[in-house]
Structure 1
């Protein structure tokens, strides 16, 4: 392969910088008599694909010189190129751009962006009342987009990297007492067809998308196991793969959960028999009355309605996602090892679990100290 240093031009017009430690491939094309360079490609194939896309833009007069391109125009192109991202992630990045990023810095030429513009964006989001976590996420997306621009020689430096990274002050969401949560689940069992989703969130710690994508074939009733291996895209009827290998996991379930799932299967089988050919059988545990995927918004609405009817007045209101936190909190308070909790939740590392639930550790430390004294008592 030709190197950048040698100056030799391979037949496909893709070059390789043999001295680069990563992303060594690059290319050049002529635009209006000027040589345009794009760098930072991991493989020759990626560079070749990007070169072909750029030539297509030129043929359609869609090419915008980097010096004239606004950040908004660049961001849209960058997002379209991120074909390795999951559907939900792309949807989220688009939402960030439309709601928060574009109104503040979308109109600014990317070559004119300064650290002050990024600081204005952060301040604007805080003034809108966005939480620390949301501000940090938007900043991270902008930083990633500008990083890609640097790698492709559109920018010399990433101005977002010259701004102090937003810090997140973790706020502990109040969780319902275990007895109260248990009673509410008991009282509301027959209230909604989507009650089973809330029950599974508490008993397994699964995410709402994982619950919507759960199929009967994923459940081993004899051994009491659930295989989590797919996600249902929000408000669609389409499956997607899980983000990480740790997300793909096996969760042990209790005999009570097994029996509750068997009851759920009987209900689904009855609906299937009644509708016959009209039933769209996708083998889903949580589904509509016609067998199609349960919409996440309907599950959340059902859970909110359950709380309105069955929650005690002095107990805090829980988001559906808080049921996953309740699962982890109950296990940790029982003394279950954090590694086991981390595996059940599908966290990428045990460190993430410990950071998320660090507020429970002092309680565990006290229990450990008392237990140690019981074993080694000098009195």
Structure 2
């Protein structure tokens, strides 16, 4: 600890030093008091605050963002997620500037930023910007950099973009049956069977592409999901999203019948020199690597047109599976475990209020009112 220094005018000066919680640099600053006791008390308070995570030096947005990204994100999330975070934060840094003090970002100027972005970006894009920034500020609160999160309670909107082709994010039961039936009747190819597996399981596209034949237990109707294919970098199988634990799901026997048909077609194609030799991965292209998400989505687009269903991307199978399981009145913990999510994420992003769910809940409501003698 520093010793108070008596000045010529009789006052006492102290220079407490502590390590900055963001940059790791040693920080020192002088302050003068009437007595040595006051000087020591000030130093003790500064050191105590620093040990508790509070800094007397203003932390800038640019420095904290770098600190947050390196410490809390890069070790745990995929490269594509990091790329998305960097795009989101580029907008924030442009608006606030990297030199903006973190504690000077208020609810008012934060809301102004969201309102500004909403003039030129879609609701979904503004939502991801908000989610990213709010997450960073939550960590800043936990670290004692700021006292409260200005992002809490913020509202946002966005421009409605006219799509070249209509698109939906979830299928109702009617469209699900139409599309699945159309896919089953389509000519054999890797994308066809990839879509069938997603339709039954709601797997993420990376998990699907990372499936190997060793993970398929046809006799017990189980699939082990313990990795995903890094289709952004083509570096092979990697850990699951957010380093979640592997999960084993039990699926209907008919899916394994389809996989058996696929295996037979694949082997026949190999012998006929139509495709490259067999691979450990289920869904491979001519280069011996797993097919791309783009290939699956192009196949889906074509099949949607033929089935007369508003187009979807592969991720819609995931939302559809979550919504169908809710319609079947399955337990939320089971649904979350099956899809590899938390119950909170499932409820917030995946279960959608389709017409099927509305009708089911209206029926339940009327039955309750009738049982109570109200109607």
**In 2, Cα distance between equivalents of 1:185 and 1:344:** 24
Residues 1:254 and 2:233 are matched in the alignment? no
1:256-290 per-position Cα deviation (integer Å, ceiling 9, x unaligned)? 21121122223444566678xx8584x11122223
**In 1, Cα distance between equivalents of 2:244 and 2:67:** 31
Deviation at 1:365, TM superposition (A): 4.1
Match of 1:194, SS state, is: helix
Match of 1:128, SS state, is: coil
CA contact (8 A) 1:335 1:364 kept: no
Match of residue 319 from structure 2: 325
Match of 2:130 among 102, 121, 139: 139
CA contact (8 A) 1:224 1:253 kept: yes
**In 1, Cα distance between equivalents of 2:361 and 2:287:** 50
Change over 3 Å in CA distance of 1:246–1:316 after alignment to 2:
same
Residues 1:123 and 2:120 are matched in the alignment? no
Match of residue 337 from structure 2: 343
**In 2, Cα distance between equivalents of 1:331 and 1:219:** 22
CA contact (8 A) 2:304 2:310 kept: no
TM-score normalized by the length of structure 2: 0.67
Deviation at 1:370, TM superposition (A): 8.7
CA contact (8 A) 1:197 1:286 kept: yes
1:36-67 per-position Cα deviation (integer Å, ceiling 9, x unaligned)? 9896899xxxxxxxxxxxxxxxxxxxxxxx75
Residues 192-203 of structure 1 aligned to structure 2 (within 5 Å): 192-203=189-200
CA contact (8 A) 2:226 2:246 kept: yes
Equivalent residue pairs, number? 320
Match of residue 292 from structure 1: 289
Change over 3 Å in CA distance of 1:318–1:210 after alignment to 2:
same
TM-score normalized by the length of structure 1: 0.66
Match of residue 71 from structure 1: 61
CA contact (8 A) 1:70 1:106 kept: no
CA contact (8 A) 1:279 1:291 kept: yes
Q: Mind listing any 5+ residue stretches in structure 2 that lack a counterpart?
A: 2-17, 31-42, 159-167
RMSD after superposition = 4.5
Deviation at 1:33, TM superposition (A): 7.7
Change over 3 Å in CA distance of 1:27–1:161 after alignment to 2:
closer
